[in-house]
Amino acid sequence: MKKIPGSFRDPAATVYTLENRIIRKINKSGNKKIELFISSKILEESINEKYLIDSWILEDQDLKKKFNCDYLLEHKKIPFISYPYEWSFDQLKEAALHHLDFNIFLIEKNFQLSDATAYNIQFIGSKPVFIDAMSIEKYEEGSNWNGHNQFCEQFLNPLIISSRKNIFYNNWYRGNIEGISNTDTSKILSWYQKFNPTIFFNVILPSYFENNNKTKNISELKLLKNNKKNFNKSSYLWLLKSLKKFISKIYKSNEKTFWKNYDVDNTYSTEQFEIKKNIVRDFIQKNKPKILCDLGCNTGEYSEISINSGSKYVVGFDYDQGALTKSYLRSKEKNLDFLSLYLDATNPSSNIGWKQTERFGLLERCKFDAVIALAFEHHLAIAKNIPLNSLIDWFISIAPKGLIEFVPKEDETVQIMLKFRKDIFSDYTEEIFQNILLKKTKIIKIHNIKNTQRKIYEYEKIL
């Protein structure tokens, strides 16, 4: 039994892992809420409508005694936990709409969401799902939307700066766990952009009042709070629906990125591409990984092959935003158990938040059965000066077995990379790569790619 550190913010419940299960202990202050859930059946309705993760109240008396509580909730385990700063524009947009739709659904049933944190949404493949049942509360007539500012910071503002200013929000978002503030968003928008009605009323005006209130004393702030007008239900729903309409129409401009069209514009022939696909297909069929990591997944073609060949779930990582968009759309259109995420491998997500335990870094979340890294290692070794020894250690830390494609210096792609920089990579040879890999793993097979000097190494970690 291990407490999940990030659950400390909710006084009504604490989340634990128990073996391979996710258990939410309901504290005394949360008992009435659970009893309301039981009598209203709101959890069952939310699950049936596919808003909420599968959750059920446990009747195991021994387990209740072990946790020393009256109620326990168990939740379906998410294959891989991801964070909003790892999502593509389309994923964040999908998550925002899911949150709004869920809150609209709840309000129409006289419930509501108590907050609007993006971290309460996870993806299973391409499908968003809400994971925090205890964020559901009874709606009282006249209630304000307490999560409005949080929704803007964690959903709306990143989407706005990405759509209106072509700024990739991922690293900015990761640098501020609470999202992107109204004030910062206001500063970078043009005057014309600020006067879009949705942006003006949800971002610009709140920013103005927030900055204006900084100059007020405590008495003035108390007076403002006492004079604050409450929403009626129709106004509340109007605000949610107007945001939904705006976000539904928001889009990211179709700007060029270097690897966006790599699936159709690359240095491989059709025959060589088929060879690589067969190597991946055979590896997956032989090992049948429950969860596979696809490093440098690009548009997701090898991830799709892996799923069709026997992998239960694939998490793909890439740095190129255009490629990520295409990989997410591939997963969505084909209903694949494939989650694509943004990753700068030389600066991956790290442990952040309170006591650096609220959101886990990439390696802490890596529980992969296998990894495929095709046409990937040279981008780190050559473009980022990562030593081969360190790079191979990193691959092995991600999964105990896998495929790693080695791209030699003579390859056309590497030659292009070296064209505008000095070749300082005397230790970058296949012989050195192979010797390092042999010291740390058992090399199962070396696959040659016809008419190239590239090779794909199949390895298995020595236990």
pTM for the whole structure: 0.92
> Mean pLDDT per 10-residue run, the chain (463 residues)?
88 94 96 96 98 96 95 97 97 98 97 97 98 96 91 98 94 94 96 95 90 61 54 92 97 63 60 94 98 97 98 97 95 98 95 92 94 96 95 96 96 91 92 96 95 95 85
Axis crossing angle, helix 388-398 with helix 430-440, rounded to the nearest 10: 40
Q: What is the pLDDT of residue 216?
A: 55
Q: Under a CB-based contact definition with an 8 Å cutoff, are residues 304 and 334 in contact?
A: yes
Reported as a single tens digit per residue, the pLDDT across 20-33 is 999 999 999 999 99
Q: Under a CB-based contact definition with an 8 Å cutoff, are residues 329 and 299 in contact?
A: no
Residue 420 tokens, joined:
């505008």
String of DSSP letters for 123-185: EETTEEEE--GGGEEE--TT---TTHHHHIIIIIHHHHHHHHH----HHHHHHSTT---HHHH
Q: What is the pLDDT of residue 224?
A: 43
Reported as a single tens digit per residue, the pLDDT across 215-229 is 655 554 454 455 556
- Residue 423 CA to residue 17 CA, distance in Å, equals 49
Q: What is the pLDDT of residue 316?
A: 98
